[in-house]
């Protein structure tokens, strides 16, 4: 599933979305909750309905929206701001166009884990 998500996000045309909310700057307000929800809905629709995947089915859309919301909630609890900012910069501010909360959370977790590891024989 993760490979499908990553591959599909690479195929998304650059579109205008609702405002991206940095998970670490989330204040829990109703206004920000609505912005997060709208961003997720716009992004999922772009990937699965407006992109090259042609997987625009209600079950797929709801499943991916839920996955992104779950990832946002988890990412909002991240402890290492430096790693999170680096991930957001890479996947949201670069040319990759993979700025969804599932990718951000997954890559944050992987980078956070890797930051504690060292090469050993």
Chain segment 20-48, per-residue pLDDT in tens: 999 999 999 999 999 999 999 999 999 99
Chain segment 79-92, per-residue pLDDT in tens: 999 999 999 999 99
**83 touches 43 (CB < 8 A):** no
Mean pLDDT of 61-69: 98
pLDDT given at position 44: 96
pLDDT given at position 2: 55
Angle at 85 (CA atoms; ends 81, 87), nearest 5 degrees: 120
Residues 6+ apart with CB under 8 A from 32: 21, 26
Residue 92's alpha-carbon distances to 54, 104, 119, in angstroms, are 23, 9, 29
All structural domains of the chain with their residue ranges = 2-8+28-106
Q: Provide the terminal-to-terminal Cα distance of the chain, rounded to the nearest Å.
A: 32
């Amino acid at each position: 599933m993760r490979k499908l998500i990553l591959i599909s996000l690479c195929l998304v045309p650059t579109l205008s979305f609702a405002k991206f909310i940095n998970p670490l700057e989330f204040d829990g307000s109703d206004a920000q909750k609505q912005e997060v929800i709208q961003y997720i809905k716009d992004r999922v629709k772009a990937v699965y309905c407006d992109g090259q995947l042609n997987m625009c089915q209600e079950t797929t859309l709801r499943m991916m929206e839920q996955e992104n919301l779950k990832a946002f909630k988890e990412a909002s609890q991240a402890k290492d701001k430096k790693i999170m900012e680096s991930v957001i910069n890479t996947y949201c501010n670069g040319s990759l166009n993979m700025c969804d909360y599932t990718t951000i959370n997954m890559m944050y977790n992987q980078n956070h884990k890797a930051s504690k590891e060292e090469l050993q024989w």
